[in-house]
Amino acid sequence: MQTFGIRSAVLLGGLFVGIASSITQATVLYDSGGFETSAGFVTGPGGAGAFLAGQTGGTPASTWIQSFAGAGNAPLAAIYPYAGGISPNFQRVQVQDNTVPAANGGFFNPNLASTPYTPGLNQGIAITWTMRLNSGLNNPFYGIVAYSGADEVAQFGVNGSSGALVGSSGATFAGFTAAVNAFVDYELLLNYTTKTYSVYTSPNGAGTYTLRGGGLFVTPTATAFTDADIASFSLAGTDPFSGSADFDFYKVETVTIPEPATISVLTAAFGLLTVRRRKSV
């Protein structure tokens, strides 16, 4: 199923505003193509997992790398076919943790041909992905961490033990809990004009996103975007932690964020409807 629409959102002052706007336009910086064989990705022999790091795929074709390993055994990110009645060519990235030291985060990211990308005035970066939480012990984080070079900009994901939404610096967002074995669509929106981020969830394939909150950039001086890493690490600083989560339909694109005067008009006219284009799992 596909749903179509145009979505723009902003975090202005202390007010989180989601609006539908025909002026929003997107430029895709990277699209994983669902990590499918047709997009250049492969699984291992006999349908086993094949390491994500080192694979080249998506649009533009980019090689994924392990950007931070730490001193211990980093989490494994590998591409697997979906099991059961779903076509074996329908693939996803699974991140697995096992006895990883608390200070060791395993990150994987595409070396985007278009980065570093510096957003223009009233332009933001939207990272969207579908994720299924499989299990989690001792509070692993599964989600996306966005960077400007070596500096973190913002992060968004879930606590693998509780299913709670987690943002930068351990911030939590009420109103939604990720269930085990359920696919959910997520979005992390970076507003480089206000140096703020906002986060959204949507029932998988529905295309209608609900604003869950947001906060300030971790690095307020950040002006560029370089990568948004599929990530897992311990939220509680607990060793060991373990579990796994599936990631799919990863995409990075620019979005136009209306000026404050436009926001006031559109908010009054359209309310808080947030709609994006989305492909279901």
The string of pLDDT tens digits covering residues 225-241 is: 999 999 888 887 666 66
Q: Is 226 left (phi over 0), alpha (psi -120 to 50) or beta?
A: alpha
Output the pLDDT for position 105.
56
177 contacts 163 by C-beta, under 8 angstroms: yes
**The predicted structure's pLDDT at residue 270:** 34
pLDDT exceeds cutoff 50 at 101: no
Question: Residue 243: its pLDDT value, please?
Answer: 83
Res. 9: pLDDT tops 90: no
* pLDDT tens, residue by residue, 259-274: 654 444 333 333 333 3
pLDDT in the model for residue 248: 96
Q: Which CATH number fits domain 27-251: 1.10.3720.10, 3.40.50.720, 3.10.105.10, 2.60.120.200?
A: 2.60.120.200
- Rounded to two decimals, the pTM is 0.82
In this prediction, residue 111 carries a pLDDT of 73
Tokens of 188: 């992390």
Residue spans per domain, the chain = 27-251
Per residue in 107-164, pLDDT (tens digit) is 777 777 677 899 988 899 999 999 999 887 778 889 999 999 889 999 999 998 999 9
**Residue 175 φ/ψ, nearest 5 degrees:** 100, -5
Q: Which pLDDT score, from 0 to 100, does residue 98 have?
A: 57
Residue 127 pLDDT = 97
Q: What pLDDT was estimated at residue 137?
A: 75
Instruction: Tell me the percentage of the chain whose pLDDT exceeds 70.
Output: 72
**Angle 265-8-108 (CA atoms, 0-180°, nearest 5)?**
160
